[in-house]
Amino acid sequence: MTEIIRLRQGQSWPGGIPLPLEELPALVATAGRAPSVLNTQPWQFRVSGHALEMHADVRRGLRVLDPVGREMLISCGAALYGLRLAVRQLGYVPAVGLLPDPGRPGLLARLYLGTESPITPAEQDLLAVVPHRYTHRGPFSPGPLPAGLLTGLRQDAAAEGAALAMVDEPAAYPRPARLAGTARALPGSIGKSAFYGHHPRSTPPSRAFLRGQASGSDSSSQAPAPCRVRPAGWRRYDEVP
């Protein structure tokens, strides 16, 4: 996890520390390495006074696969977390307000430089892996999980204001399996998308398909773009296809 000062809705940071303009490209680049739904990167950043704002870029939204924008918001949350890590590298604790202006729903977050504090070794480790993100579409290995992993994940979720529900009883397994099956059967779901065909690990969506999703038109007839994928289902985004 990374340190953060959480601001209430509409609250600004009274410290008044100006953003270092020479560091802005690196801050935004680190945030932009975040994973996003179909790699759409649906975010924009703007400087507003001493704050850096994150806005949802609805032009990149997938109106068919993600009609309510849930996946878009999750993607933006990942980018915001990377931005927080980048600020920690500058020696500050980020002061962040989520949805700071009720009248501007597209404004997702406003970030200020908070109190001075050196980055921790754990945060350094997190920051070091940001440029080396992966997509895994293969099966998971069987066997027990490392000791303390689930407890740590629960604590991480709670620290971000969320909850992680464990499905750890065999009798409960059929319910999430049915939910996943239902989701795959819905019209427009990724599991049924024509661009994956019969080999979901070998063909990502084409740019033409994404353009069609953004506009709501049917671009499934477009040929998928080629992609170099590892045999085990891993794809690295720090490599040139």
174-229 pLDDT, tens per residue? Answer: 888 888 778 767 655 444 433 233 333 334 444 554 445 444 544 333 433 333 33
- Residue 172 DSSP one-character state: G
Q: What is the pLDDT of residue 169?
A: 82
- Residue 223 DSSP one-character state: P
Tell me whether residue 169 is in a domain: no
Give yes or no: residues 101 and 197 share one domain: no
Residue 79 reports pLDDT greater than 90: yes
Give yes or no: residues 193 and 75 share one domain: no
Tell me whether residue 223 is in a domain: yes
0.75 cut: is pTM over it?
no
DSSP element (H, E) containing 73 = helix 70-89
Q: What is the mean pLDDT of the chain?
A: 79
The domain spanning residue 26 has which CATH number?
3.40.109.10
Q: CB neighbours (10 Å) of residue 13?
A: 20
Q: Which domain holds residue 215?
A: 181-241
Tell me whether residue 160 is in a domain: no
Helix, strand, or coil (residue 16): coil
Residue 20: pLDDT band with limits 50, 70, 90: very high
Tell me whether residue 140 is in a domain: no
pLDDT digits (tens, 9 = 90+) for 117-150: 999 999 999 999 998 877 777 888 888 889 999 9
In this structure, which amino acid lies at residue 144?
P
Domain count, the chain: 2
- What's phi and psi for 54, nearest 5 deg? -110, 125
Give yes or no: residues 25 and 93 share one domain: yes
Tell me whether residue 158 is in a domain: no
Tell me whether residue 228 is in a domain: yes
Give the Å distances, CA to CA, from 143 to 28, 88, 135, 146. Answer: 39, 36, 21, 10
Last residue of a domain, one of 76, 102, 133: 133
Choose between 58 and 227: higher pLDDT: 58
Sign of CA dihedral 157, 69, 101, 55: positive
Give yes or no: residues 9 and 119 share one domain: yes
Q: What is the pLDDT of residue 223?
A: 36
Tell me whether residue 165 is in a domain: no
Give the Å distances, CA to CA, from 102 to 10, 76, 80, 105, 240. Answer: 8, 18, 19, 6, 41
Sheet holding 5-7, edge to edge: 5-7, 92-98, 107-116, 51-56, 43-48
Give yes or no: residues 113 and 216 share one domain: no
Taking residues 77-97, report their average pLDDT: 96
Give yes or no: residues 107 and 207 share one domain: no
Q: What is the pLDDT of residue 151?
A: 92
The answer to whether the beta carbons of residues 114 and 60 sit under 8 Å apart is no
What single string gives the DSSP state of each residue in 90-128? TTEEEEEEES--TT-TTEEEEEEEEEE-PPPHHHHHHHH
How far, in Å, CA of 54 to CA of 99, rounded? 10
Tell me whether residue 74 is in a domain: yes
